């Protein structure tokens, strides 16, 4: 059986929200390094454009570490795929499938729907939806040393 209840909120996100529940911040929480954050080689084209747009913002607020690279890359690829499926649907060049008297939607329509669900799930992990950002008090930081000082100060350490 899986874990019960809502997923735990990442500490950087909790700190950006001002720790509204005043819960103790675990000093032993795993803090992955962020010294080797770079776009994976398999991200190309419009997915790379998404990486270039999102990675700097997430890095600035301490939400991107070495361990998050592949998840962010999947999010970027999903956003690019969604745009590609959406463009194909808008162009109206989709064949109509029939099974007897029933019209079957083109597979791109269901692919777009599934990709959108993936984007929303992955985006939520990075606080990218409006509901995930409720209560965030974001202070943009100039460099990683300032970020570490900010987090240390907010954690009371």
Q: Is 154 helix (H, G, I), strand (E, B) or coil?
A: helix
Question: Closest by alpha carbon to 37, among 77, 72, 12, 9?
Answer: 72
Whose tokens are 């929480």? That residue is 29
The answer to whether position 152 is within a domain reads no
Evaluate the CA torsion angle 21, 29, 67, 56 in order and state its sign.
positive
Contact assessment for residue 17 and residue 33, using Cβ atoms and an 8 Å cutoff: no
Q: Is residue 106 part of a domain?
A: yes
Is 61 within a domain?
yes
Q: Is residue 138 domain-resident?
A: yes
Range of the domain at 108: 11-23+36-145
The helix/strand/coil state of 104 is: strand
pLDDT at 149 over 70: no
In a domain, 150, yes or no: no
Which of 9, 3, 23, 78 lies closest to 46 in space, CA to CA? 78
- Identify the residue with better confidence: 141 or 124: 124
Q: Is residue 47 part of a domain?
A: yes
Residue with tokens 């607020």: 61
Mean pLDDT of all residues in 62-88: 86
Question: pLDDT tens digits for 86-129?
Answer: 888 788 766 667 778 887 777 877 888 888 888 888 777 766 65
| pLDDT at position 20 over 80 | no
Q: Is residue 29 part of a domain?
A: no
Q: Write out pLDDT tens, residues 25-48.
A: 766 666 777 888 899 999 999 999
Average pLDDT, rounded, for the chain: 76
**Percent of the chain's residues with pLDDT above 90:** 15
Number of structural domains the chain divides into: 1
Three state DSSP letters for 65-103: CHHHHHHHHHHHHHHHHHHHHHHHHHCCCCCCEEECCEE
Beta bridge partners of 98: 103
The answer on pLDDT for 157 being more than 70 is no
Q: Is residue 17 a part of any domain in this protein?
A: yes
The phi, psi pair for 42, rounded to 5°, reads -80, -5
């Amino acid at each position: 059986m899986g874990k019960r209840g809502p997923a735990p909120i990442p500490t950087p996100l909790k700190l950006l929200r001002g720790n509204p529940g005043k819960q103790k911040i675990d000093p032993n929480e795993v803090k992955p390094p962020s010294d080797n954050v770079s776009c994976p080689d398999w991200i190309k084209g419009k997915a790379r454009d998404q990486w270039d747009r999102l990675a700097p913002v997430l890095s600035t607020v301490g939400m991107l570490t070495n361990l998050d690279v592949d998840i962010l890359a999947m999010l970027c690829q999903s956003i690019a795929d969604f745009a590609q499926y959406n463009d194909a649907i808008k162009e109206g060049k989709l064949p109509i499938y029939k099974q007897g008297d029933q019209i079957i939607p083109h597979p791109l329509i269901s692919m777009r729907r599934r990709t959108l669900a993936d984007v929303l799930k992955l985006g939520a992990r990075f606080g990218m939806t409006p509901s995930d950002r409720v209560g965030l008090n974001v202070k943009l930081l100039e460099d990683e040393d300032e970020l570490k000082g900010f987090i240390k100060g907010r954690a009371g350490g």
